């Protein structure tokens, strides 16, 4: 198969970028999108030109590194997959394919298609610890958790933090990501002691990182490779409201360090 | 703590949802009240006199609603500006997955509704556009002095096809705004899950459509009735 790529090229975060065209020839339909980019980069290297920089790691859809907006869709035209799990058979032979980075003020472009997503890490960090006793591993059934609750928590624990929700959101909001992280621990008994503090801290960090606000359009859940539902954002809203309300009536202890 | 809560991204979403709910509730009451014009002059004029004779209550109500509208508008613009800043460089190619057109044009439909609101106040409340409305008086049973003839004012106001059409287009815009606003407020207040999300979307459209029907029937009916009466005569 043959394609024409329109790829975003940008040397660094300070220099403005632009779309440039490259031919991709003799591409096997069963190649992944990233493998196709590898082939193009091989050719560029042979021609002594700068290869296209893009993020990738596991290439099996679980690490959350790959981050391409393909033809205007975060993680490309297929549902519930990451960019690395897009195969060239999904495109028409001879098609022109536009490849752009995840665009958000919170994700500065480092080079070409690589963006800095450490803002998401800082949100996780601000979530802090959970109180688990040290010592021997607890007995398997010492802390019973209902099947349904365990599954719900697991559904959101699928979040790989790729940031596609931010990329697809009309407002570059990170609320699907934050709601997944807040819900994951908020549903489980182990997450209860710090639940209120956690949701308040994570929302406050999210705001400080210049992400946008949710306007309830659910573009995020449509592109999420892990199919995380935007209904979790409603749970985030609920949790934050209750935590803030409780916070207004509680005085912070002078001696509480770290948390 | 309270200030931080209100200024946070989520806090401002609650404000939008709560003020929106109050403004929507007022629209329902306003619609039900104005239905009385369809029941004849005595009915609507008695109702209007009842409202006008309770000045302190009327003004506290107006002040409260004004505050709600102001909050809704200010916070809405604040959020909109924030959201624009969150993506300074746009996508060269962008494909929308499921966001409806109404949800993407809230700031514009909102601005047009505000513009219509100003016109509506100048038209029927302050009567600057039609000063002759102030002279329309009539009598209702149980009241000595003449009262404002709201019935005649509305009939006169909607006699003009352009005016009637403006009102109908404006309430259509309001319904359009609400078709996203109603399902959205449940999400913002945390009252939505996967089981009810489809229902809420349809509920929003249904309520918005009913409000459009209810609000547009008044100018449409008055225009048709007055013109029809002249034609038949």
Please judge whether A203 and B10 are an interchain contact, meaning their C-beta atoms are less than 8 angstroms apart. Answer: yes
| Torsion sign, CA atoms A102, A108, A109, A115 | negative
The answer to whether the beta carbons of residues A106 and A209 sit under 8 Å apart is: yes
Pick the range with the lowest mean pLDDT from B130-139, B147-156, B224-233: B224-233
For the purposes of burial, counting CB atoms within 10 Å of the CB of A245, is it exposed (0-12), middle (13-18) or buried (19 or more)? Answer: exposed
User: pLDDT tens digits for B211-233?
Assistant: 999 999 999 999 998 888 877 77
Q: Does B3 touch chain A (CB under 8 A)?
A: no
Q: In chain B, which residue's Cα lies nearest the Cα of A241?
A: B11
Encode pLDDT of B11-47 as tens digits: 999 999 999 999 999 999 999 999 999 999 999 999 9
B85: closest chain A residue by CA: A105
Average pLDDT over residues B136-153: 92
Nearest CA to A91 out of A167, A29, A42, A40 is that of: A29
Is any Cβ of chain A less than 8 angstroms from the Cβ of B180? Answer: yes
Q: Smallest CA–CA separation between A137 and chain B, in Å?
A: 35
- Interface touch A213/B79, C-beta < 8 Å: yes
User: Which residues contact residue B132 at a Cβ distance below 8 angstroms, ignoring those fewer than 6 apart?
Assistant: B156
Q: What is the CA radius of gyration of chain A?
A: 21
B227 CA to chain A: closest CA distance, Å? 44
Instruction: State the DSSP H helix or E strand holding residue A97, giving kind and residue range, or none if neither.
Output: strand A96-101
Q: Which domains does chain A have, with CATH numbers?
A: 3-111 (3.10.20.30), 117-130+139-248 (1.10.1060.10)
| B161 in any annotated domain | yes
Q: Which two tokens stand for residue A250?
A: 């509680």
Output the domain CATH number for residue B165. 1.20.1300.10
Structural domain count of chain B: 1
Interface test with A, best of B77, B87, B189, B194 (most A CBs within 10 A): B87
Domain that holds residue B201: 2-87+101-232
In a domain, B36, yes or no: yes
Examine residue B23 and state whether it is found in any structural domain, yes or no. Answer: yes
**Percent of chain B scoring above 70 in pLDDT:** 99
Q: CA B122, B128, B132 angle in degrees (round to 5)?
A: 125
Chain A residue numbers touching B2 (CB-CB < 8 A): 248
What pLDDT score does B6 carry? 87
What local confidence, expressed as pLDDT, does residue A249 receive? 87
pLDDT at A167: 98
Contacts of A204 in chain B (CB under 8 A): 4, 8
Please check whether residue B196 lies inside any domain of the structure: yes
Q: B101 to chain A: nearest residue by CA?
A: A217
Question: Would you say residue B11 lies in a domain?
Answer: yes
Give the whole-angstrom CA distance, residue B82 versus residue A105: 11
Q: Considering the domain boundaries, does residue B96 fall inside one?
A: no
* A43 contact B CB<8A: no
Rounded Cα–Cα distance for residues B146 and B148 (Å): 7
Q: Is residue B106 part of a domain?
A: yes
In the numeric block, which tokens belong to residue B196? 């009810």
Burial of B75-98, coded b for 16+ CB within 10 Å and e otherwise, reads: bbeebbebbeebbeeebebeebbe
Residues 40-99 of B with CB under 8 A from A: 79, 82-83, 85-99
Long-range CB contacts for residues B72-77, cutoff 8 Å, separation at least 24: B72/B15, B72/B16, B72/B19, B72/B20, B72/B23, B73/B110, B73/B114, B75/B12, B75/B15, B75/B16, B75/B19, B76/B16, B76/B106, B76/B107, B76/B110, B77/B107
Q: How far is B1 from chain A (nearest CA, A)?
A: 6
pLDDT for A122: 98
Does B157 map to a domain?
yes
Q: B190 and A104: CB-CB below 8 Å?
A: no
**What is the model's pLDDT at position A258?**
54
- Given a cut of 90, whether residue B177 has pLDDT beyond it is yes
Low-confidence ranges of chain A (pLDDT < 50): 259
Could you say which of A218, A234, A248 has the minimum Cβ distance to residue B190? Answer: A234
φ/ψ (deg, to 5) at A250: -115, 140
Asked whether B109 and B173 are in contact (CB, 8 A), the reply is yes
Which of B10, B11, B97 lies nearest to residue A223, judging by beta carbons?
A: B97
Judge contact between A210 and B85, C-beta under 8 A.
Answer: yes
Whole-number pLDDT of residue A137? 84
Which among A79, A101, A160, A106 has a CA at the least distance from the CA of B97? A79
The per-residue pLDDT for A257 is: 58
Q: What is the pLDDT of residue A161?
A: 97
Q: Supply A154's token pair.
A: 């697991």
């Amino acid at each position: 198969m043959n394609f024409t790529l329109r790829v975003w090229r940008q040397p660094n975060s300070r220099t403005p970028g632009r779309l440039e065209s490259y031919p991709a020839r003799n591409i096997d339909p069963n190649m992944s999108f990233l493998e196709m980019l590898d082939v193009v980069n091989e050719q560029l290297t042979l021609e002594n030109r700068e290869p296209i920089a893009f993020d990738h790691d596991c290439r099996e859809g679980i690490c959350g590194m790959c981050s391409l907006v393909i033809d205007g869709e975060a993680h490309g035209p297929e549902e519930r997959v990451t960019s690395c799990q897009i195969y060239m058979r999904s495109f028409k032979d001879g098609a022109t394919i536009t490849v752009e980075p995840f665009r958000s003020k919170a994700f500065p472009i480092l080079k070409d298609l690589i963006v800095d997503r450490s803002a998401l890490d800082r949100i996780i960090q601000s979530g802090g610890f959970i109180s688990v006793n040290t010592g021997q591993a607890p007995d398997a059934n010492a802390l019973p958790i209902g099947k349904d609750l365990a599954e719900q928590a697991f559904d959101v624990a699928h979040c790989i933090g790729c940031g596609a929700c931010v990329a697809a959101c009309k407002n570059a909001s990170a609320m699907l990501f934050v709601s997944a992280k807040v819900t994951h621990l908020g549903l489980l008994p182990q997450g209860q002691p710090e639940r209120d503090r956690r949701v308040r801290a994570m929302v406050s960090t999210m705001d400080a990182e210049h992400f946008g606000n949710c306007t309830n359009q659910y573009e995020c859940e449509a592109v999420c490779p892990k199919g995380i539902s935007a209904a979790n954002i409603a749970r985030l809203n609920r949790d934050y409201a209750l935590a803030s309300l409780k916070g207004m009536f509680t005085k912070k202890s002078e001696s509480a360090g770290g948390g | 703590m309270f200030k931080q809560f209100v200024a946070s991204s989520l806090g401002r979403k609650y404000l939008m949802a709560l003020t929106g709910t109050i403004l929507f509730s007022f629209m329902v009451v306003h619609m039900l009240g104005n239905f009385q014009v369809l029941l004849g002059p005595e009915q609507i004029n008695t109702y209007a006199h009842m409202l006008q004779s309770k000045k302190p209550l009327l003004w506290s109500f107006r002040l409260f609603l004004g505050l709600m509208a102001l909050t809704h508008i200010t916070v809405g613009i604040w959020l909109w500006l924030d959201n624009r800043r969150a993506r300074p460089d746009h996508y060269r190619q962008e494909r929308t997955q499921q966001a409806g057109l109404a949800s993407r044009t809230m700031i514009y439909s909102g601005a047009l509704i505000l513009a219509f609101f100003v016109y509506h106040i100048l038209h029927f409340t302050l009567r600057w556009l039609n000063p002759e409305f102030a002279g329309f008086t009539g009598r209702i049973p149980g009241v000595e002095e003449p009262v404002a003839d709201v019935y005649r004012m509305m009939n006169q106001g909607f006699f003009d096809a352009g005016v009637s059409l403006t009102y109908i287009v404006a309430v259509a815009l309001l319904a359009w705004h609400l078709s996203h606003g109603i399902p959205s407020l449940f999400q913002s207040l945390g009252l939505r899950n996967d089981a009810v999300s489809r229902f809420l979307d349809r509920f929003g459209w249904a309520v918005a459509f009913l409000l459009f029907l209810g609000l547009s029937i008044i100018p449409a009916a008055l225009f048709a009735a007055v013109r029809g009466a002249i034609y038949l005569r």
